[in-house]
Amino acid sequence: MSQNVETTLVGWAGFLSSHDPDRFLSLFTDDCVYEDVALGVVNRGKQELRTFIAGIFSAFPDFHIDLKSQFVAGHWATMEWAMSGTHEGGLPGMPATHKRFMVRGASVAELSGAGIRRISDYWDLATFLKQTGLMAST
């Protein structure tokens, strides 16, 4: 893995965890696509992505990504991670519960010389809903 790509992937997790939207957005191309599959949200371009990330930081003021592993092949990368935080602010259809969560997930990214062109995050929404009390555990 080249140092530049590794720095980008580590930066993706680090800048999210440090709540630094400008540095986070600097990793992406201007025409980026950021998809959160679990939430059914597709952000096109840096402005939509900035709005989405601001909502995440507001809902989860202690939001953190722990990057577990990454793999790069050509212009594709995958990352395995765990996200955690406390649900302090509402999201559409999900009022704040003030409960902590920790959910494992993975991302698939398309890279270009200018940064991350596209990324899709996959994580278990049901686990999040159960841990935050928004869905009954069985």
How confident is the prediction for the chain on average, in pLDDT?
94
Q: What is the pLDDT of residue 2?
A: 55
Please say whether the dihedral angle defined by the alpha carbons of residues 91, 96, 97 and 98, taken in this order, is positive or negative.
positive
% pLDDT > 90, the chain? 88
Query: Which are the contacts of 71, defined by CB distance < 8 A and separation ≥ 6?
Result: 1, 77, 78, 79
Model confidence pLDDT, tens digit, residues 66-98: 999 999 999 999 999 999 999 999 888 899 999
Nearest to 12 by CA among 105, 98, 137: 105
| Alpha carbons 48 and 92: distance in angstroms, whole number | 16
The domain 3-88+99-131: what is its CATH number? 3.10.450.50
